[in-house]
Amino acid sequence: MQRVLRVAIAVPLLLAGGALALADGSGSHRRREKFTAAEIVETARDIGRREGDAHPADISAASSTWGNAVPVVTFGRDKHAEEAALRVHVITMHGHFTMYTVSPPPGGHYPRNDWLTVVIEAKTGQIRETNLGHRRPPLERLGPVRHVASA
């Protein structure tokens, strides 16, 4: 049985209004109308760096709705069915991740695993879900998958 850590994090990311906005180093963001392979890789590396691996490999992305993405990336049911139609971007990556963005239980360790999956709300850029697991979720169930970087 696969163990998956589900952690919902509400922090702004680099996506806004369905278009990608990239940090330019000045604290501001410049909007991108197209979610390019390079932008997916940059976003994945930014998230990977926060979760313990600045150089993730096997980066893939797919776009779908929250309702379709939840069973694929969480291997469970959505608690927020009223939000099923929200457009989301799902990014997966392989690496050595330690989820420093959560507090470990008393006496416990930070969660670790090899696959990091992030679900980002397209309109707001908010991270809706962050999961760690030992295998890549089957993104093909969501539609076309862009494999943008490998090891």
Q: Please report the pLDDT score of residue 35 as a whole number.
A: 63
| pLDDT tens for each residue of 38-92 | 888 888 889 999 999 989 999 999 999 998 998 888 766 666 677 888 898 999 9
Q: Are 47 and 54 in contact (CB under 8 A)?
A: no
Instruction: Give the global pTM.
Output: 0.73
Report the length, in residues, of the chain.
151
Rounded to whole angstroms, what are the CA distances from 35 to 18, 71, 99, 138? 9, 24, 26, 21
Q: What pLDDT, in 10s, does the model give residues 11-42?
A: 233 333 333 333 333 333 333 334 678 888 88
| Whole-number pLDDT of residue 75 | 64
- Where does the pLDDT of residue 141 fall: very low under 50, low under 70, confident under 90, or very high at 90 and above? very high
pLDDT at 91: 93
Domain ranges of the chain: 5-149
- At residue 19, the pLDDT reads 37
Res 109: pLDDT: 92
Q: What per-residue confidence (pLDDT) applies to 76?
A: 64
How far apart are the C-alpha atoms of 42 and 45, rounded to whole Å?
5
Q: Determine the 3-state secondary structure of 115 from DSSP.
A: strand
Q: Which pLDDT score is estimated for 58?
A: 93
The answer on pLDDT for 9 being more than 80 is no
**pLDDT the model gives residue 17:** 32
Q: Which two tokens stand for residue 58?
A: 């096997």
Q: Coil, helix or strand for 51?
A: coil
**Res. 116 pLDDT band, cuts 50 70 90:** very high
Q: How far is residue 31 CA from its own chain's centroid?
A: 19
Distance CA 95, CA 33 (A): 29
